[in-house]
Structure 1
């Protein structure tokens, strides 16, 4: 029998791949198992920002850029202050996470970083075909998203797409203790679109103009709306753009688990680890990685039971409404944030609630279109 090159190959050195590698590296159970992380890029710059909420201290606090205990939800009619209670809303820059993970993993004698682009994986021969060479392994963890979620007529796809400016102003313009979850005072016509603000000081903040839509848009639209927000809402005339970032996150009720097989487990976005109704992924990834580690140690398939059918149905109903009536987004989120405590919302989005609590939240969002979407999806 031919011995494979590696025990595990992790395809992709982004959030999911590195969190998985870190957890494997920290567990004595995996000692002596040779692992490769194969990633085409060097991951040597800040390509994104992750935010998440959690109670108390967390395992990522030493690399967290900033955290907040209060937030805002704003429409043209009202402004709601969100008291997070025992939760904190935390921000982490991707480059800080990449550097932290590499520093930890490069000390291991079992883990190897390889710069290559994997083009395909043969599950029969357990061989990954890269641009430079082939790699064999006992099991693959694959984070390449692919497009299968777009081809299934039974599922719904909404795209969270955005562009952000990290700006510095010449005069105080922000409250560094309060972030803005959603501000709908500047919108793109007939869409679910809003401004998101993470303030670092009175003169520096990250502003993102964000869409939850079934379609994409031109880059000039984001720039126009960010400029409009700064001038018309914040009344800022003088600012400097220090850094820009943009991205697209698929939000879908597609069952990603069916893409995994005996020798290949899909992870990250490719595994459905992005919360479909919110687009958040960082803490979700932490939970999925912990479940994978536990499955392996129990002798189960690594990807077994990683998703909840119940919550995928909830997400599907919500996404169906936005896909068919995107203009309703502002009203739906207004009901969510004004009729529920933010702690309840966080627990629901973390999939930690009981059915009775979920029913309360779903009823708070009531609109006739939800009934139609309910019967289409359920």
Structure 2
């Protein structure tokens, strides 16, 4: 088995992002890199969306940016501007192509399908594969989306709908999400925040077909692309050691209250690449204990009182746009935190603070 200086387990968003940062910052000169991933080929399998609160290296992979968004509930609709921090969506296929084309230029970078093919004991190892044990009580964000196309102009491409709670909740938290990429193309997703114990929640196709027909009032369209996924809204059990660092979702880069991960991965990747020479002595890159604490309380409320959550989200977004975006993107200051916390139903959140589990 061959030895490598650096090994990355998992060639998805976080693994490839780190490899890309190592390469473009000339950190692989004189070093060999092995990337372990079992896929046969790369193609568009996800759409990553986020508020652009800081620069990233993948503007050329962005499908669309929006400076306006809406939140729907059964009680009304909020219309918000996000001029300073536009909402962006990235095509994972373009992302993969960009990174792989760059990595192929370095003959010291190798791809393997199994870690059994190489010796990782003497390597610096970055692991992006989360260890998730089976459990019935953990919360997930699970979703399915159709990218649909129409012959006639139908969508308002200047505004995206972040959350539409005017739908069947099934004793969980459920919303739809519409990203209009053009006047005749949009991604429509059904999204659940739940323990995934109700099989009816996973009847995604029926939910999407019904929503497009009866809520969007769209009859004639073509489904061009479909994506399905789930994000753990809990910390996985991966353990760091002297020679191994967990990255991406495995390394705590998912914001638990939102599922946002992409920009956190980019920041972590830049940090690790910059400090690769001080690998063992460096502090771990983290989202922040403040957000870990607040998200834990928020998810306790969500799990125990799902029926109130559409109203909770609606109240959260009825704040200054910059404040709520900074809060959801780990960039908020104390004043912004307080402006959002004070909008929450106080008794139920105070009870959650002292809840044991």
Q: TM-score, normalised by structure 2?
A: 0.92
CA displacement, residues 3-26 of structure 1 (integer Å, 9 cap, x when unaligned): 971111000110000000011112
Alignment of 1:325 onto 2:274:
no
Contact 2:242 2:280 in 1 (8 A): no
Q: Provide the C-alpha distance between the structure 2 equivalents of 1:299 and 1:224, rounded to a whole number of angstroms.
A: 49
- Equivalent positions of 1:1-378 (< 5 A) are 5-55=3-53, 58-114=56-112, 116-118=113-115, 130=116, 132=117, 134-148=119-133, 157-216=138-197, 217-218=199-200, 221-252=203-234, 254=235, 259-298=239-278, 300-301=280-281, 304-338=284-318, 340-376=319-355
* Aligned residue in 2 for 1:122: none
Question: How far is the alpha carbon of 1:271 from its aligned partner?
Answer: 1.1
CA displacement, residues 80-127 of structure 1 (integer Å, 9 cap, x when unaligned): 11200211111111111111100011101332222x134xxxxxxxxx
Q: Provide the C-alpha distance between the structure 2 equivalents of 1:85 and 1:377, rounded to a whole number of angstroms.
A: 41
Q: Could you say if the C-alpha distance between residues 219 and 46 of structure 1 is closer, same or farther in structure 2, counting changes exceeding 3 Å? A: farther
* Aligned residue in 2 for 1:127: none
Contact 1:12 1:38 in 2 (8 A): yes
Question: How far is the alpha carbon of 1:57 from its aligned partner?
Answer: 6.1
CA displacement, residues 109-155 of structure 1 (integer Å, 9 cap, x when unaligned): 332222x134xxxxxxxxxxx2x56544421111111115x67x9xx
Question: How far is the alpha carbon of 1:157 from its aligned partner?
Answer: 3.4
Contact 1:22 1:104 in 2 (8 A): yes
Q: Which structure 1 residue ranges, 5 or more long, are not aligned?
A: 119-129
CA displacement, residues 198-256 of structure 1 (integer Å, 9 cap, x when unaligned): 1112221110000011225357622222122112212112222111111011112x376
* Aligned residue in 2 for 1:124: none
Contact 2:252 2:286 in 1 (8 A): no
Q: Provide the C-alpha distance between the structure 1 equivalents of 2:272 and 2:118, rounded to a whole number of angstroms.
A: 28
Q: What secondary structure is seen at the aligned counterpart in 1 of 2:5?
A: strand
Superposition RMSD on alpha carbons, in Å?
Answer: 2.4
Q: Say how many residue pairs are matched.
A: 356
Q: Provide the C-alpha distance between the structure 2 equivalents of 1:113 and 1:303, rounded to a whole number of angstroms.
A: 28
Contact 1:4 1:138 in 2 (8 A): no
Q: Could you say if the C-alpha distance between residues 201 and 356 of structure 1 is closer, same or farther in structure 2, counting changes exceeding 3 Å? A: closer
Contact 1:9 1:141 in 2 (8 A): yes
Contact 1:158 1:212 in 2 (8 A): yes
Q: Provide the C-alpha distance between the structure 1 equivalents of 2:75 and 2:201, rounded to a whole number of angstroms.
A: 29
Q: Provide the C-alpha distance between the structure 2 equivalents of 1:140 and 1:105, rounded to a whole number of angstroms.
A: 18
Q: Provide the C-alpha distance between the structure 1 equivalents of 2:283 and 2:156, rounded to a whole number of angstroms.
A: 43
Contact 1:56 1:86 in 2 (8 A): no
Contact 2:7 2:33 in 1 (8 A): yes
